[in-house]
Amino acid sequence: MKKHNLLSNLYTALVMLFLYAPIAVLIVFSFNDSKSRNTWAGFTTHWYTDLFHDEEIISALVLTLVVALVSSVIATVLGTSAAIGLNKMNKKLRSVFMTLNYLPMVNPDIIIGVSLMLLFTYLRIEFGVGTLILAHITFSVPYVVLNVMPKLRAMDKHIYDAALDLGCNPLQAYFKVVIPEIMPGILSGFVMALTLSIDDFVVSYFVNGPASQTLPLVIYSQTRRRVTPKINALSTIIFIVVLGILVLNNFYSIRKEQQLRGKKGGH
Amino acid sequence: MKENILISLKNVIVEFEDGHRVLKGIDLDIHDEEFVTFLGPSGCGKTTTLRIIGGFAEPTEGDIFFDGVKINGVPPYKRNINTVFQRYALFPHLNVFDNVAFGLNVKKMDKKIIARKVKEMLALVNLSGFENRNINQLSGGQQQRVAIARALINEPKVLLLDEPLGALDLKLRKDMQTELMRIQKSLKITFIYVTHDQEEALTMSDRVVVMRDGQILQIGTPQDIYNEPVNAFVADFIGESNIIDGVMYEDYEVEFAGQAFKCVDKGFALNERVDVVIRPEDIIVGDYETSPISGVVESVVFKGVHYEITVDAHGYKWLIHSTQSQEVGALIGMNVKPSDIHIMKKMEVR
Ligand SMILES: Nc1ncnc2c1ncn2[C@@H]1O[C@H](COP(=O)(O)OP(=O)(O)OP(=O)(O)O)[C@@H](O)[C@H]1O
Ligand SMILES: [Mg+2]
């Protein structure tokens, strides 16, 4: 038994090492007082100050956040409405549309990128922030649908009827009862759309304009010229922020679960 | 109960997309302040009828009137009717107070008035002090009462209740039955109640509507339905009954189980084949030599108030409720008073 434990602990440690070693290296070298990638020359934070003086990176960061926020808000609205509509359809039609919904998710990004580029060219839409936002909406919507749908299916259908019964018109019934009920699904869809958008490189690569470079694109082009530890610093910040969001999210859901469990035992 | 008719269904037919006819022409008048119960087996169309009245479904054919006005096509939120749904359908994201206050909040009523009314309503259903509880912190019976309060606070003229006590245990059920009857009488509103429990229907209602297969078989007071069921199905559904094939010799004389019996029914054709319905408590157990029917006791089950005895005689399993036990395997005699023999026309086979 004890030996077993030791082995499995070792195994876990190895996996963790494998997963996090690159990030650890990244973080360490973001504080290295040298441009070298293999020798340690003392501690510094000047890559971080450099970073915040790099106009290209700062404007890319702002653009990335704007594109992510706008596209994921729109995608959440579209995806939620789509899920509500799909949920009202009969079984056959719904499964057809759900398959159509899954298709873009399994489609390689590069195909989505190329096809969107062709479409925008054909429609003579100027490449820039607009096309970036449109493209990000396109690949985010299916994920929102995917997150909202199970909540709708699990919802007691009679609560919609109950809202009508108590004086709501259909629109009020959705806003007062259905939407609050499926809110967890909508929120997780929104967060997913947000991260997908911030994360995206491939699709953005095909649909950006000369003056609209998102962060991943800028990082890529900077590392092609020369790797500056500034990028390490930037990556470190991104990692810490993402880690923070994840921890917060887990903390929140654990607390919610505890609340629910407490309730069940509590009377 | 008042004389004026509040709700009226005229030849209501409901057909679903698959062509399945779920209601086959319902005609029904419901009086103001009446307690009406729809009683029938699962799938007979009780919920569908209720949904038609509530406005959640539209009849394929036929009309529905409310206070003399045709209300086909009027959506639920414009009907002065509220519903207690089959599984409560409380709003999980709202607490008890906000659930009950929901209808008044939609009407944008003054917050102070809402708070007062919610308090009164919770007192009416014995839930004072539960305002801030979460819905999933409540027991089934408490959720039930929140659902009733949430509907009643809107002061509807009609309350629809779809098997509201179905999920409760026997004791709680009895308590809630009394509670609901008290509420109905004190608020003076019409209750349309759905159940498949015949005892519940007989206890609570002014009138019972017995349904089967999308049709109304009988409408009447609980006494009418119990004492004068129109056919063997109603008789059996209302209380377990012995249903035996018989032949009507002439007025006041029927033959079954190989014997001629005096009875109180007339107006059948000569030698018409009929259903003879005898309630288990109406069979008199006697000596097998002097009784018209004799048979062998197959089983005896103690039921608290009485023994439930099954007797095999003339190819039927006779059910007897008796305060006296019998020995299994014993030969016993059975007799029935003429007034306890109910003759019914054979049900038409559909
Ligand atoms: N949306 C629907 N589409 C097709 N058939 C339906 C639909 N809703 C109900 N039915 C059918 O209509 C019939 C009557 O249903 P209904 O719900 O009115 O029965 P019920 O008397 O309330 O039964 P229960 O006691 O089980 O609640 C059933 O055979 C059911 O399968
Ligand atoms: Mg039902």
Cβ atoms within 10 Å of B319's Cβ, excluding its own? 17
Looking at B211, B232, B253, the residue that finishes a domain is B232
Looking at B232, B255, B285, the residue that finishes a domain is B232
Instruction: Indicate yes or no: CB of B93 within 8 angstroms of CB of A176.
Output: no
Task: Tell me, yes or no, whether B313 lies in a domain.
Answer: yes
Q: Mind telling me how many Å the CA of B138 is from chain A's nearest CA?
A: 8
Ligand 1: residue of B12, B13, B20, B194 to mutate (most ligand atoms within 8 A of CB) is: B20
* B272 shares its domain with B308: yes
* B59 shares its domain with B122: yes
Task: Tell me, yes or no, whether B28 lies in a domain.
Answer: yes
The CA distances from residue B82 to A170, B47, B153, B155, B240, in Å, are: 16, 14, 10, 9, 34
Task: Tell me, yes or no, whether A225 lies in a domain.
Answer: yes
Task: Tell me, yes or no, whether B350 lies in a domain.
Answer: no
Task: Tell me, yes or no, whether A69 lies in a domain.
Answer: yes
For residue range A51-80, list pLDDT tens digits in order: 888 888 889 999 999 999 999 999 999 999
* B177 shares its domain with B271: no
Ligand 1: residue of B44, B87, B192, B213 to mutate (most ligand atoms within 8 A of CB) is: B44
Task: Tell me, yes or no, whether A23 lies in a domain.
Answer: no
Tokens of B231: 């056919």
Answer whether residue A265 shows pLDDT above 60. Answer: no
- The CATH number of whichever domain residue B337 belongs to comes to 2.40.50.140
Please tell me the residue having the least CA distance from ligand 1 atom 24. Answer: B42
* B210 shares its domain with B296: no
Answer whether residue A122 shows pLDDT above 90. Answer: yes
Q: Which residues on chain A are in Cβ contact (under 8 Å) with B136? A: 260, 263-264
For residue range A140-187, list pLDDT tens digits in order: 999 999 999 999 999 998 999 999 999 999 999 999 999 999 998 999
What is the number of structural domains in chain B? 2
- Give the model's pLDDT for residue A262: 52
Q: Mind telling me how many Å the CA of B18 is from chain A's nearest CA?
A: 12
Q: What angle do CA B199, B201, B203 make, to 5 degrees?
A: 70
* B135 shares its domain with B257: no
Alpha carbons A120 and A127: distance in angstroms, whole number: 8
Task: Tell me, yes or no, whether A256 lies in a domain.
Answer: yes
Q: What domain range is A112 assigned to?
A: 46-266
Mutation target vs B (from A166, A177, A179; most B CBs, 10 A cutoff): A166
Ligand 1 neighbourhood includes B87 CB (under 6 angstroms): no
Task: Tell me, yes or no, whether B276 lies in a domain.
Answer: yes
Instruction: Indicate yes or no: CB of A164 within 8 angstroms of CB of B106.
Output: no
Closest CA to B237 of B7, B87, B46, B50: B46
- Give the model's pLDDT for residue A266: 39
Q: Are A75 and A139 in contact (CB under 8 A)?
A: no
Could you tell me the strand order of the sheet in which B81-84 lies? B81-84, B158-162, B190-195, B35-39, B207-212, B215-220
Q: Which atom of ligand 1 is nearest to the CA of B45?
A: 18
Instruction: Indicate yes or no: CB of B82 within 8 angstroms of CB of A165.
Output: yes
- The CATH number of whichever domain residue A207 belongs to comes to 1.10.3720.10
Instruction: Indicate yes or no: CB of A164 within 8 angstroms of CB of B107.
Output: no
Answer whether residue A261 shows pLDDT above 80. Answer: no
Q: Are A140 and A79 in contact (CB under 8 A)?
A: yes
Task: Tell me, yes or no, whether B238 lies in a domain.
Answer: no
Q: Could you report how far apart the first and last alpha carbons of chain B are, in Å?
A: 36
Ligand 1 neighbourhood includes B196 CB (under 6 angstroms): yes
Task: Tell me, yes or no, whether B40 lies in a domain.
Answer: yes
* Mean pLDDT value across residues A188-196: 91
Task: Tell me, yes or no, whether A10 lies in a domain.
Answer: no
Looking at B232, B259, B284, the residue that finishes a domain is B232
Q: What domain range is B78 assigned to?
A: 5-232
* B32 shares its domain with B175: yes
Ligand 1 neighbourhood includes B42 CB (under 6 angstroms): yes
- Give the model's pLDDT for residue B350: 44
* B338 shares its domain with B247: yes
Q: Which residues on chain B are in Cβ contact (under 8 Å) with A159? A: 89-92
Task: Tell me, yes or no, whether A66 lies in a domain.
Answer: yes
* B223 shares its domain with B249: no
Task: Tell me, yes or no, whether B64 lies in a domain.
Answer: yes
Task: Tell me, yes or no, whether A41 lies in a domain.
Answer: no
Neighbouring C-alpha atoms within 13 Å toward the C-beta of B259: 15
Residue by residue, pLDDT tens for chain B (350 residues) are: 778 899 999 999 999 888 899 999 999 999 999 999 999 999 999 999 999 999 999 999 999 999 999 999 999 999 999 999 988 899 999 999 999 999 999 999 999 999 999 999 999 888 999 999 999 889 888 999 999 999 999 999 999 999 998 878 888 889 889 989 999 999 999 999 999 888 999 999 999 999 999 999 999 999 999 888 888 889 888 888 899 999 999 899 999 998 999 999 888 888 999 999 999 999 999 998 889 999 999 999 998 889 999 999 998 999 999 999 999 999 999 999 999 999 988 876 44
User: Which ligand neighbours the alpha carbon of B162 most closely?
Assistant: 2
Task: Tell me, yes or no, whether A227 lies in a domain.
Answer: yes
Answer whether residue A35 shows pLDDT above 90. Answer: no
User: Does A56 touch chain B if contact means CB atoms closer than 8 Å?
Assistant: no
* B174 shares its domain with B289: no
Q: Which of B91, B107, B134 sits opposite A177 (nearest CB)?
A: B91
* B127 shares its domain with B249: no
Ligand 1 neighbourhood includes B22 CB (under 6 angstroms): yes
Answer whether residue A264 shows pLDDT above 50. Answer: no
What is the number of structural domains in chain A? 1
- Enter the pTM of the model: 0.80
User: Does A92 touch chain B if contact means CB atoms closer than 8 Å?
Assistant: no
Alpha carbons A138 and A197: distance in angstroms, whole number: 10
* B178 shares its domain with B255: no
- Give the model's pLDDT for residue A132: 95
- The CATH number of whichever domain residue B22 belongs to comes to 3.40.50.300
